[in-house]
Chains A and B, each alone.
Chain A
Amino acid sequence: MIRHWLREGTPHELVTALVATPLFAGFLLLLWLLMNEFSFGHLLLGSALAVVISRVTQPFWPERSRIKYPGRLLLYLGRLLMDILKSNLIVARRILFHSRQLQPGFFTYPLTLTDDFAVTMLASTISLTPGTVSAHYDREGRTLLIHCLHLEDEAALIRDIHSRYELPLQEIFDD
């Protein structure tokens, strides 16, 4: 394959073929440079690693997700950070003072998102926020199984997750 482009490939083709997922490769390189002191040697080593790792892990990316509004993604992450803080306080209080009165339970959450990466984001968000951990993703049934530390009102919780996290994600990924 490499011989093929050396003969007739345009430079752009060469780059896209070497770096299958350019954004991911760039991210890896940046990470490498941030973790080490900047030098020409590290630039070379980092570039080589970025190319190799992004090629090797390419099959793990089932489809390209398009982030349509990166600005809104930042906004979402900011809100998520606040929610993580809040959820920690809530869970801490429950563990310390009400650990015997908790009513844990499972519930299934019907997904409207279809994009794999967006679903991953939603599942991670659920795991990081108030008393919920995502336990299983049913691809055919399009549901997430969620365990809740203190399950009171299932319908309200589902509504909450939908409006607070799923709708913004839907907008960000234009899903």
Chain B
Amino acid sequence: MTPSSMPFLLELFISLLLVAGALFALIGSIGLARLQDFFMRLHGPTKASTLGLGCLLIGSLLYFSFQKGTVSVHEAIVTVFLFATAPVSAHMMAKAALFRAVGKGGPSRNYPEN
């Protein structure tokens, strides 16, 4: 089955997902460049990039499911793992930063004492 035999609506939907995913990933990167301190930049990867990647993966899932005629589960598994592990890595980075007092005296209020 060639991609061109795909119904137009499905093609449109997949394209929209891909564009949306790319946009969110871009916004996440802009966030990394613009935000002032470590803890603010930490919000980028857990949110914008997760959704961006989620959109790309769903697009890929639909495309390959349609091409192969069977549900392509790899992307679904990747998505689940992504959503389960992104908060953990963010949490570990935050802990390390707190331990080393990164960003103390920066824009973030109520910086914990110890």
Which residues of A line the B interface, CB within 8 A? 31, 34-35, 84-85, 87-88, 91-92, 95-96, 99, 102-107, 123-128, 131, 133-136, 145, 147, 149, 151
Contact = CB atoms under 8 A, between A and B. Distances in A.
Contact of B109 (A96, A106, A126, A135): A106
Interface string B78-93: 0000011011101100
A88 B35 contact: no
Given A133-B46, A133-B94, 15 more contacts: A85-B51, A88-B47, A88-B51, A102-B107, A103-B109, A106-B108, A106-B112, A124-B88, A131-B43, A133-B39, A133-B90, A134-B94, A136-B112, A147-B43, A149-B40
Contacts of A95: 27, 30-31, 34-35, 44, 48
A78 to B, nearest CB: 13
Contact of A128 (B30, B87, B95): B87
Nearest to A145: B112
B98 to A, nearest CB: 6
